[in-house]
Amino acid sequence: MSTPDHNVGTQSRIGCIRIEGLRKSLGGRPVLREVNLEIKCGETVAVVGRSGCGKSVLLKHLIGLMWPDAGRVLIDDRSLAEMDRRELYATRHRFGMLFQSAALFDSMTVAENVGLGLRHHSKLSSAEIDEKVEACLEAVGLPGVLDKMPSELSGGMKKRVGLARAIAMDPEVLLFDEPTTGLDPIMSAIIDNVIVDLVDRLKTTAVVVTHDMRTVNTVCHRVAFLHRGVIFAEGTPEEINGSEDPVVAQFITGSAEGPIQPVR
Amino acid sequence: MRIRRETLPIRILEAVGCGSIRLATDVGAVVVMVWRMMAALPRLLRHPSLLLEQADHIGVGSIPLVLLASLFTGAVSAAQAGYQIQDYAPLSLVGAAVGKAVILELAPVLTALVVAARVSTSIAAELGTMRVTEQVDALEVMAIDPIWFLAAPRFFAGLIMTPVLVLLATVIAIFGGYLVSYATLGLSTATYYHGVQQFFLVWDVVINQTKAFLFGGILTLAGVFFGYRAQGGAEGVGRATIEAIVTACVMILMFDYIVATVMM
């Protein structure tokens, strides 16, 4: 399997993210022990690891939805913890996030969900917002669902609406939390293709949290393997796939036998 | 191995200490939330649709319930007053008794309790569900302050609409008292309303509206606060809902006493 051919480096506007010595405990249990990771501009990085290893927790730290017990997250060399609320929100303007459950606002229609950020932050007219919402839905391959409520959508459609909402504000960094979890293989492949297409077209930096190696191989330039609260291995998808480390190999092959023991 | 057991006084001390810390933390969190909602007011006034939507839900939506409850409150007040004074005082005082009781106590407190049962629970359940399904996080990522977007409209709608509801309840309860006085106690319309007017003071209405304003804040704040910090799925939402209604009811009764003591 080869790395995706969309280019790394110069096209992205801004959005370098550095994680330094991040530690986080939840309910007294250390989840992240010492995470160090750098995500370069324009790069698509996958954070992989077993369920419950702290991938989503790590992702939420990148945007200030969770705060570290120790360590820091730097966005373009500026620590999130040092920002006041106004600056934090200004930084969040540069992000778009697809949540694991899509997190659509269930009291709003699809159009209202996708257009919410635009209505609150842009100076576009109502007609321009409607146009942009339609374009975003078109981009994720979901035209004609503007007036539907989230409860009327399938899991895959919800994810795509979530994706449309994430790109509506033209983000410079896209965060994906388990974008294909719970979807059938065909829908997963469709979502993967949509992500590749969007990242390529919008020239964004992207962080994909997943345990689906097919998504990793299709979408990402680099992989960080999170294990026991640290980045245990890092490399291109080819390097990770070919790793001889027993821990990494067990995860890649999905074997029940090996050094990784079931969480009790 | 020898297990050291703490003595009873130590355990009591520990429980009191933990409870005090929790209480202080909660009070601090409530103060911060109210402060943030106050700070969000100017922006909320520039987007009145958010406020109007909640005013409709909290105020207009509660009218049938409040009408029914206050009608029976007035009716039972008249029946009780008639029963209790029939041997000691003229029945013409029924109007006065109903008027005083309704304006000073029954309309504000019972309306607040009825509205709390409907509104505090619905706010806590709605915000709690949004919290546990990551919809609140989605707002944060979109750089939309959930305190401004979700909490403040509900809080201020409660502050505005509860006094209106209490005023309505006061009028309807006095009318309910009249129906019973006329139908079962044999009082004429003039006698009843003369009684109501006889001991009427404008200050009583000030007390009535002060209580209503305060209770409106309490019942929405309880829903907002417990809903906003809900955790742990459906069980967490259920817990938040219970905490909201119990706290709202207890605080309403507590502040009823405080206002009565201070203003009467």
Whether the pLDDT of residue B103 is over 80: the answer is: yes
What is the model's pLDDT at position A41?
Answer: 87
User: Inter-chain contact B143–A101, Cβ cutoff 8 Å?
Assistant: no
Q: Which of A120, A122, A167 is the best mutation test for B, with the most CBs of B within 10 A?
A: A120
Identity of the residue in A64, A103, A120 whose CB atom sits nearest the CB atom of B138: A103
Q: Which residue of B has its CA nearest to A95?
A: B141
- Portion of chain A with pLDDT greater than 70, in percent: 93
What's the average model confidence in pLDDT over B59-68? 96
User: Inter-chain contact A97–B144, Cβ cutoff 8 Å?
Assistant: no
Rounded to two decimals, what is the model's pTM? 0.87
Chain B environment of A106 (Cβ under 8 Å): 133, 135
In terms of C-beta density within 10 A (0-12 exposed, 13-18 middle, 19 or more buried), how is residue A52 classed? exposed
User: Inter-chain contact B143–A104, Cβ cutoff 8 Å?
Assistant: no
CA distances from A156 to A140, A184, B31 (A): 11, 9, 41
| Residue A11 DSSP SS3 | coil
Residue B148 in tokens: 């401004």
Whether the pLDDT of residue B98 is over 50: the answer is: yes
What is the model's pLDDT at position A13?
Answer: 58
CA A165-A167-A170 angle, to 5 degrees, is 130
**ipTM computed for the complex:** 0.87
Chain A environment of B138 (Cβ under 8 Å): 97, 99, 103-105, 165
Q: What is the pLDDT of residues B124-152, one digit of tens each?
A: 999 999 999 999 999 999 999 999 999 99
The residue ranges of every structural domain in chain B are 48-263
Q: Which residues pair with A17 in a beta bridge?
A: A39, A75
Whether the pLDDT of residue A253 is over 90: the answer is: no
Whether the pLDDT of residue B72 is over 70: the answer is: yes
Distance CA B227, CA B240 (A): 6
Q: CB within 8 A of A112, min separation 6: which ones?
A: A105
Distance CA B91, CA B81 (A): 9
Of the ranges A5-19, A98-112, A172-186, which one carries the lowest mean pLDDT score?
A5-19
Between B28 and A199, residue with greater pLDDT:
B28
Whether the pLDDT of residue A260 is over 50: the answer is: yes
Residue B80 in tokens: 């009780």
What's the average model confidence in pLDDT over A99-110? 93
Whether the pLDDT of residue A132 is over 90: the answer is: yes
Between A187 and B209, residue with greater pLDDT:
B209
Residue B202 in tokens: 């404008």
Chain B environment of A105 (Cβ under 8 Å): 130, 135, 138
Q: Which of A115-124, A156-165, B149-158 reaches the highest mean pLDDT?
A: B149-158
Q: What is the pLDDT of residues B11-43, one digit of tens each?
A: 899 999 999 999 999 999 999 999 999 999 999
Using an 8 Å Cβ cutoff, are A180 and A188 in contact?
Answer: yes
CA distances from B12 to B5, B6, B23, B121 (A): 13, 10, 16, 33
What is the model's pLDDT at position A258?
Answer: 77
Q: Which of A168-172, B81-85, B138-142 reaches the highest mean pLDDT?
A: B138-142
User: Inter-chain contact B135–A105, Cβ cutoff 8 Å?
Assistant: yes
Q: What is the pLDDT of residues A29-54, one digit of tens each?
A: 999 999 999 998 889 999 999 888 99
Distance CA B191, CA B95 (A): 8
In terms of C-beta density within 10 A (0-12 exposed, 13-18 middle, 19 or more buried), how is residue A114 classed? buried
Q: What is the mean pLDDT of chain A?
A: 88
Q: What is the pLDDT of residues B188-214, one digit of tens each?
A: 999 999 999 998 999 999 999 999 999
- For residue B160, name the pLDDT band (cuts at 50, 70, 90): very high
The secondary structure of B193-225 as a DSSP string is HHHHHHT--HHHHHHHHHHHHHHHHHHHHHHHH
User: Inter-chain contact A95–B138, Cβ cutoff 8 Å?
Assistant: no
What's the average model confidence in pLDDT over A254-260? 80
What is the model's pLDDT at position A11?
Answer: 41
Chain A environment of B144 (Cβ under 8 Å): 116-117, 120
Using an 8 Å Cβ cutoff, are B232 and B249 in contact?
Answer: no
Whether the pLDDT of residue A3 is over 80: the answer is: no
What is the model's pLDDT at position A76?
Answer: 86
Whether the pLDDT of residue A8 is over 70: the answer is: no
What is the model's pLDDT at position A6?
Answer: 45
- For residue A5, name the pLDDT band (cuts at 50, 70, 90): very low
